[in-house]
């Protein structure tokens, strides 16, 4: 499977499960659950046959959201009252999905969000280190390229870091890639896989069109146009929403796909491949990179690397992605040195 919609064809709100009712289903907690992504994502997770207890946490009260979701089907939904700290629903979470923080507005870049979201992620990471240090952590909040290193540094400083368990979610780039390729080439979107590598911000988003499955040929012009369309897709939504948020529905769905695949791998499926932004040795100059990963019960079991790149992809990677990601990671390192007293490893 690709990082995009699940290999096992787990469809949204598909209520038939491959998991037997006797298996313990993981507890999933969404932080930032009252926001534009949080609410639809929590609904999808509540409907999922793969999810056990569901926790919804925010800085505004989430008890109403929990009550609302609890009418959909039986099973615990744990809301968080605004006054309680630390958020009790986080305790013993198996999967933590972090959506907390500000989204882009017209004219802003993902990188511009760092000054708002880095401290929010730091405080959530400290809470998670205390309450669910073994959770699989899915970081959706932007800028993903810098916040994954920040979250990781907090976990290192608390002695609970396991690089296999922390994922930056770039699934939406893969979902957009396969949708736009399917549209352009008249293919069935369910059959198309495109891995997007690099990071999750305009120029660092690098869809590997040369590795599209099923094998598909593109002219140079098509590669240029599709790559730009995928990199710029967020801006199209942000500008059309005109100050009322960024992508919420597509990312809620993309995150749901990712979490579904993670659960499949955690509960025994052996062939689950996703793309995510993780701690990496694939390119020596970069300590974090999005690549395809083989998942297993403990998270990312094997980094599948970049595969064979086209000349266009190799050039973009070395000339654009690497320097930009280096700067994004360095920004996180400097923030952590100042805030946590950490040193680069």
Ligand X SMILES: O=C(O)C[C@H](O)C(=O)O
Ligand Y SMILES: NC(=O)c1ccc[n+]([C@@H]2O[C@H](COP(=O)([O-])OP(=O)(O)OC[C@H]3O[C@@H](n4cnc5c(N)ncnc54)[C@H](O)[C@@H]3O)[C@@H](O)[C@H]2O)c1
Contacting residues toward ligand Y, per CB under 6 A: 31-32, 34-38, 57-60, 99-104, 113, 117, 120, 123-124, 140-142, 144, 169, 172, 200, 245-248, 251
Taking a C-beta distance cutoff of 8 angstroms, is the pair 198, 290 a contact?
A: yes
User: In the complex with ligand X, which residue's Cβ is closer, 129 or 276?
Assistant: 276
Say how far residue 191 (Cα) sits from the centre of its chain. Answer: 22
* Region near ligand X per CB under 6 A, out of 71-79, 90-98, 103-111, 154-162: 103-111
Parallel/antiparallel/unpaired status of strands 196-198 and 205-207: antiparallel
Q: Does position 234 bind ligand X by CB under 6 A?
A: yes
Residue 32 annotated in ligand binding = yes
Q: What are residue 99's DSSP bridge partners?
A: none
Among 25, 80, 110, 316, binds ligand X (CB under 6 A): 110
Residue 140 annotated in ligand binding = yes
Residue 36 annotated in ligand binding = yes
Which DSSP helix (H) or strand (E) runs through 97?
strand 95-98
Rounded to 10 deg, the angle between the 220-241 and 171-185 helix axes is 120
Among ligand Y, ligand X, none, the one that 169 touches (CB under a kind-dependent 5 to 8 A) is: ligand Y
Residue 145 annotated in ligand binding = no
Among ligand Y, ligand X, none, the one that 4 touches (CB under a kind-dependent 5 to 8 A) is: none
Closest CA to 151 of 166, 136, 162, 164: 166
Residue 331 and residue 315: Cα distance in Å, rounded? 24
- Kindly state the tokens that stand for 282: 């694939």
User: In the complex with ligand X, which residue's Cβ is closer, 238 or 265?
Assistant: 238
Q: Does position 4 bind ligand X by CB under 6 A?
A: no
* Region near ligand X per CB under 6 A, out of 42-50, 75-83, 102-110, 129-137: 102-110
Among 247, 255, 269, 287, binds ligand X (CB under 6 A): 247
3-state helix, strand, coil in the chain (%, to 5): 45, 15, 40
Among 246, 261, 275, 291, binds ligand X (CB under 6 A): 246
Residue 173 annotated in ligand binding = no
Residue 268 annotated in ligand binding = no
195 is catalytic: no
Residue 22 and residue 297: Cα distance in Å, rounded? 18
User: In 53-82, which positions are buried (b, 16+ CB within 10 angstroms) versus exposed (e)?
Assistant: bbbbbbeebbeebbebbbeeeeeebbbbee
Print the SS3 string covering 221-279.
HHHHHHHHHHHHHHHHHHHHHCCCCCCCHHHHHHHHHHHHHHHHHHCCCCCCEEEEEEE
Closest CA to 276 of 260, 254, 292: 292
User: In the complex with ligand X, which residue's Cβ is closer, 35 or 89?
Assistant: 35
Among 2, 3, 142, 287, binds ligand X (CB under 6 A): 142
User: In the complex with ligand X, which residue's Cβ is closer, 127 or 141?
Assistant: 141
Residue 79 annotated in ligand binding = no
Task: Summarize as ranges the residues that interact with ligand X (CB under 6 A).
Answer: 103-104, 110, 142, 172, 234, 237, 246-247
Catalytic residues: 200
Binding site as annotated, residues for NAD(+): 32-38, 58, 117, 140-142
Binding site as annotated, residues: 32-38, 58, 117, 140-142
């Amino acid at each position: 499977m690709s990082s995009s919609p699940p290999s096992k064809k787990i469809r949204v709100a598909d209520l038939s499960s491959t998991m037997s009712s006797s298996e313990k289903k993981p507890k999933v907690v969404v932080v930032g659950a009252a926001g534009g992504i949080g609410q639809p994502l929590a609904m999808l997770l509540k409907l999922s046959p793969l999810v056990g207890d569901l926790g919804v946490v925010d800085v505004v009260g989430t008890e109403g959201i929990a009550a609302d979701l609890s009418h959909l089907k039986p099973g615990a939904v744990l809301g968080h009252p605004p006054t309680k700290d630390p958020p009790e629903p986080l305790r013993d979470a198996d999967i933590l999905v972090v959506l907390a923080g500000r989204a882009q507005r017209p004219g802003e870049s993902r990188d511009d969000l760092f000054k708002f979201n880095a401290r929010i992620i730091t405080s959530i990471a400290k809470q998670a280190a205390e309450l669910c240090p073994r959770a699989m952590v899915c970081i959706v909040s932007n800028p993903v390229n810098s916040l994954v290193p920040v979250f990781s540094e907090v976990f290192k400083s608390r002695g609970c870091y396991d690089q296999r368990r922390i994922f930056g979610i770039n699934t939406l780039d893969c979902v957009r890639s396969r949708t736009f390729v399917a549209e352009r080439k008249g293919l069935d979107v369910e059959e198309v896989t495109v891995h997007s590598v690099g990071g999750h911000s305009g120029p660092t988003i690098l869809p590997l069109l040369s590795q599209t499955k099923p094998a598909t040929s593109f002219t140079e012009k098509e590669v240029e146009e599709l790559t730009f369309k995928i990199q710029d897709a967020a801006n199209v939504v942000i500008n059309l929403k005109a100050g009322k948020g960024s992508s919420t529905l597509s990312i809620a769905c993309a995150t749901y796909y990712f979490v579904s695949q993670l659960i499949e791998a955690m509960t025994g499926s052996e062939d689950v491949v996703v793309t995510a932004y993780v701690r990496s040795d694939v390119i020596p100059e970069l300590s974090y990179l999005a690549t395809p990963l083989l998942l297993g019960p403990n998270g990312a079991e094997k980094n599948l690397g970049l595969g064979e790149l086209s000349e266009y992809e190799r050039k973009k990677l070395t000339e654009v992605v690497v320097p930009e990601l280096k700067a994004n990671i360095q920004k996180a390192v400097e923030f952590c040195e100042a805030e946590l007293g950490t040193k680069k490893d």
